[in-house]
Amino acid sequence: MSSVRLLALSGSTRDGSVNTKLASTITSMASNVGFDAVQISLADHPAPLFDADWEKQNGPPEPIKALQALMVEQDAIFVASPEYNGGITPLLKNTIDWLSRVRVEGQPGSLVFKKPVWSLGAVSPGVQGGVNSLYQLRPTITRLGAIVMPEQLTVGGGASAFNEDGSFANDRTINLATAQLERLFDVAGKLKS
């Protein structure tokens, strides 16, 4: 079987974001599980605030088209979703809104939500680990046709959740993340073949 590819991204572009650290840690751990894993930044795929009139004049932004093409090549996608005011970040929601508008001729809907298997995680300073953002993210992408793994990783105490080398500081978190990645690898690999 050819390699199983995973793309990890964070819903934050802020310097020092703990969710960007989560995406990095998952990328490293995914390689150990067997994935061909890569991490991207949404800063490399900027888009204006979604506006149907702007879209009518210009079409989807080129950086979003490039992001969609990259994501469709993957077998799995991991999203580290920061929690802003009990929901997902404006950046992540806007990116999803634009991705939902990119169509491939002859295909219904956006392929980015139909081909890869999605997996979710979040880190926050509080004890709930950003779970509220996942409560909003999951139904949003599921409604667009995404297959989303039931397991999700929530990491509380974000300020002390990582070692200096970027690895998880807590054995329980390591075990949960490993189990989630192993299951994702199994499902994505089976759907790929």
d(C-alpha 156, C-alpha 20), whole Å: 15
SS3 7: strand
Which domain, by its residues, includes 52?
4-192
Quick one: pLDDT at residue 119?
Answer: 98
Quick one: pLDDT at residue 111?
Answer: 76
- State the CATH number of the domain containing residue 74: 3.40.50.360
Longest dimension (CA), the chain: 52
Q: What is the average pLDDT value for the chain, to the nearest integer?
A: 94
| Structural domains in the chain (count) | 1
Quick one: pLDDT at residue 106?
Answer: 60
Q: Which of 102, 131, 127, 133 is nearest to 115 (CA)?
A: 102
Quick one: pLDDT at residue 68?
Answer: 93
**Residue 23 buriedness (CB in 10 A; 0-12 / 13-18 / 19+):** buried
Quick one: pLDDT at residue 2?
Answer: 74
User: Could you say which residues of the chain have pLDDT below 50?
Assistant: none
Quick one: pLDDT at residue 109?
Answer: 61
**Residue 1 buriedness (CB in 10 A; 0-12 / 13-18 / 19+):** exposed
